[in-house]
Amino acid sequence: MKTFLHASDLGQLDLALQEAAEIKKDRYAFEHLGKHKTALLIFFNNSLRTRLSTQKAARNLGLDVVVLDVNQGAWKLETERGVIMDGDKSEHLLEAIPVMAQYCDLIGVRSFAGLTDRAADYSENVLTQFILHSGRPVFSMESATAHPLQAFADLITIEEHKRQARPKVVLTWAPHPRALPQAVPNSFAEWMRAADVDLVVTHPEGYELDPLFVGDARVEYDQRKAFENADFIYAKNWSCPGVTRPEDYGKVISKDADWTVDSEKMSLTNDAAFMHCLPVRRNVIVTDDVIESPRSLVIPEAANREISATVVMKRLLESL
């Protein structure tokens, strides 16, 4: 594996899940793999969970870690060839990326969607440039359209907590005051489809996810109906993916508080576990009682971010 962006990059998911379980039992079992090797983690956007869990995962593997924040400084990279660079961009990514690659063996990149230009976001422009020009294995630490380390951690969590072979998993939109990327629901849908679960997606009309990720998963516009008999409720807000109305791409087209996940709706489920990738706005996405209930998995999910990142970097190291 030279790149980590999609579920398919991991190959057979059941084997990846086995590997995750082994690593969770002995996190330092593969510490020899990273000896004398360096992971460079590049953040174009803020990060808490990803920053901490990926550093920890790298150290599990014996890797040196260098964290580079490029969001705080004014470092703007030119991306077009042929431009006379006499403006505010002082470096071209055709130099910057190969240079950064000289000092490391693996590269993780966080670069969020701009949410104004659908085609640009869905081309995964920044991540793709790193893949093309670094000559190093590259993994997404949440890029414009996907957050595969989160989705893999979610899958590990579902595997650990499922009570039947093929659980019903509901991905539900929930309201939020600001426009958020589609990366988390995109990857969650993609990974659930790749795994052996019964996936239902529920959201207000207009919030249809991109078919590239959601495929032919069942969509149910009635949230309560979707919740019936569910084993896992995965809540998340996302902005309009612009699938049905391209002009709405990246916009907040609903703040309907009726979509908040509460205990009344949870009572419709099969005693479902509650999941969310965090950070979460309480009493907007989900009520206090649901997120604090014994069926809430938000902390174990976050903890599994260390495990998913360890598996992924292990695979990338094995490819060197």
List residues near a copy of itself by CB under 8 A: 27-28, 36, 38, 40, 46, 48-49, 51-53, 55-56, 59, 64, 66, 68, 72-73, 75, 78, 81-87, 90-92, 94-96, 98-100, 102-104, 177, 278-284, 288, 291-292, 298-299, 302-303, 305-306
> Cβ of residue 302: shortest distance to a copy of itself, in angstroms?
4
Residue 174 burial (CB count, 10 A): 23
> Is the CB of residue 122 less than 8 Å from the CB of residue 151?
no
Inter-residue contact 254 to 205 (CB < 8 Å) = no
Nearer to a copy of itself, 71 or 270 (CB): 71
- Determine the Cα–Cα distance for residues 139 and 106; give it in Å rounded to an integer: 8
Token pair, residue 58, equals: 């790298």
Q: How far is the CB of 181 from a copy of itself (least distance, A)?
A: 14
DSSP-derived secondary structure for 73-142: S---EE-STT----SS--EEHHHHHHHHHHT-SEEEEE----SS-HHHHHTTHHHHHHHHHH-S-EEESS
Structure tokens belonging to residue 215: 């495929």
For residue 249, the minimal CB distance to a copy of itself (Å) is 22
DSSP 309: H
Under DSSP, the state recorded for 187 is H
Shortest spacing between CB 138 and a copy of itself, in angstroms:
16
- Minimal distance, residue 237 CB to a copy of itself, in Å: 11
Tokens 């099969």 — which residue? 270
Which residue number, 94 or 194, has a Cβ lying nearer to a copy of itself? 94
Give the integer Cα–Cα distance in Å for 91 and 80.
Answer: 11
Toward a copy of itself, which CB reaches closer, 70 or 268? 70
In this structure, the strands spanning 198-202 and 218-219 are parallel
Q: How far is the CB of 278 from a copy of itself (least distance, A)?
A: 5
User: Considering beta carbons, is residue 224 or 255 the nearer one to a copy of itself?
Assistant: 255
Residue 17 or 298 with smaller CB distance to a copy of itself:
298
Tokens 């709706």 map to which residue? 265
137 neighbors 109 (Cβ within 8 angstroms): no
Tell the smallest beta-carbon distance from residue 165 to a copy of itself (Å).
28
Q: Which is nearer to a copy of itself, 122 or 259 (CB)?
A: 259
**Closer residue to a copy of itself, CB minimum distance, 193 or 281:** 281
- Decide: helix, strand or coil at residue 179: coil
Give the shortest CB-129-to-a copy of itself separation in angstroms: 15
Cβ closest to a copy of itself, residue 84 vs residue 165: 84
Distance in angstroms (rounded) separating the CA atoms of residues 52 and 56: 6
